[in-house]
Amino acid sequence: MTDVLVLGGTGWLSGRIAERWADAAASVSCLARGGREAPYGTTLVVGDRNDPGAYDEVARRDWDEVVDISSNPVHVAAAVDALARRAKHWTYISTVSVYASNDEPGADESADLLAPAGADEEDDYGRAKVRAEASVRAALGHRAAVVRPGLIVGPGDPTDRFGYWVGRFALAGGEEVLVPATTGRGAQVIDVDDLADFVQAIGRERWTGVVNAVGDPVDLDRVFADAREAAAHTGALVPAADAWLEEHEVAYWMGPRSLPLWLPAGMPGFWTRSNAAYRLLGGRLRPLRDTLERTLADERERGLERERRAGLSRPDELALLHELQA
Ligand SMILES: NC(=O)c1ccc[n+]([C@@H]2O[C@H](COP(=O)([O-])OP(=O)(O)OC[C@H]3O[C@@H](n4cnc5c(N)ncnc54)[C@H](OP(=O)(O)O)[C@@H]3O)[C@@H](O)[C@H]2O)c1
């Protein structure tokens, strides 16, 4: 029996990774604080990674595979300290936000990284991940895989970003939707289920190295067109210029009162990273339309008018449309 430890496992991606391993008949333990259930067929080990004794129980035995998703470099360092000698293989989930530049289209895994976060800089996401990657590689060396996903999308997304568009088009039906100017802009997403399959596969094969886990670059126009088709939206798109949106305090990319996936101009490398290694390793990339349809079903279930972590509320959007067209 393969013994797998997921540090996390009750969250979105980590839960799906734990599920994949359980489906592959592994014995899976998920270490988390215990506020949420671990996936069916896995065992929850309750521990808070802020507590120095968090790994005591899981450090008493050997693991074929350890998966860590934490973005806290102190937690990651403590985990490798406690568990590296117990693990045959370790997969660390990092991010493409570790790269220093978003200027170069098509850059691969050899691109320069940000400087690692120092002490007291653990909230600096990209730099914190750089520091975490470094501790994994220093402790595990040739036993470690570092996976750098781009924007993870699909059903259950706790960040509410990608689902905003298909959900909004469905909610608007025959009415107008506010969009950013799309010229020269695109997105590069990976379906959470393709990513979970990939992470399980490289753990099974004990592949080591660093790999971007990103989809193919796609124009933002195309994302909107496919999302509208999936949602049967027939209303018009009303584009607003960057300066107008900025003046009206609409945020880029994520968070409340944002237009998700909208990026400042001049970041061509952000949505065109190389996925050649991912593909070479057999990583799957399902059609965007498939992801959009599953995301829409999930959006409908969670409520198209719910309070979101990202995007505009429909009343806010209508007020902005009114002002833009006045
Ligand atoms: N979303 C994106 O588009 C994106 C893009 C690139 C990379 N990523 C990376 O993808 C990963 C996302 O993983 P995820 O979806 O599973 O995250 P998540 O939904 O935030 O789950 C976090 C997991 O860690 C556990 N956890 C948090 N704090 C803990 C603590 N103090 N002690 C013990 N356990 C703790 C949580 O369980 P409890 O809360 O129950 O303790 C949960 O199981 C992250 O590495 C992120 O950086 C995300």
Mutate to test the pocket of ligand 1, among 50, 57, 70, 162 (most ligand atoms within 8 A of CB): 70
- pLDDT tens column, 192-214: 999 999 999 999 999 999 999 99
Q: Ligand 1 pocket by C-beta < 6 Å: which residues?
A: 8-14, 32-36, 47-50, 69, 71, 93, 95, 149, 151-152, 158-159
Give the residue-averaged pLDDT of 8-31. 98
- pLDDT tens column, 92-145: 999 999 999 999 999 999 999 999 999 888 889 999 999 999 999 999 999 999
Same topology for domains 3-149 and 154-187+218-270+286-325, yes or no? no
pTM above 0.85, yes or no: yes
Spacing, Cα 196 to ligand 1 middle (Å): 13
**Top-level class of domain 154-187+218-270+286-325:** alpha beta
Domain ranges of the chain: 3-149, 154-187+218-270+286-325
- pLDDT tens column, 73-99: 999 999 999 999 999 999 999 999 999
Which of 236, 79, 95, 216 lies closest to 159 in space, CA to CA? 95
For 42, residues 6+ apart whose C-beta sits below 8 A from its C-beta are 6, 9, 18, 19, 21, 22, 28, 29, 30
Spacing, Cα 123 to ligand 1 middle (Å): 14
Give the separation between CA 298 and CA 295, rounded to whole angstroms: 5
Atom of ligand 1 nearest to the CA of 70: 45
57, pLDDT greater than 90:
yes
* Phi/psi of residue 112, nearest 5 degrees: -65, 145
Classify domain 3-149 at the CATH topology level. Answer: Rossmann fold (3.40.50)
End-to-end CA distance of the chain: 66
- Amino acid identity of residue 132, one-letter, is A
CA angle 28, 92, 133 (to 5 degrees): 155
Spacing, Cα 81 to ligand 1 middle (Å): 20
Which of 274, 164, 264 lies closest to 223 in space, CA to CA? 164
* Phi/psi of residue 34, nearest 5 degrees: 100, 5
Share of the chain above pLDDT 70, in %: 100
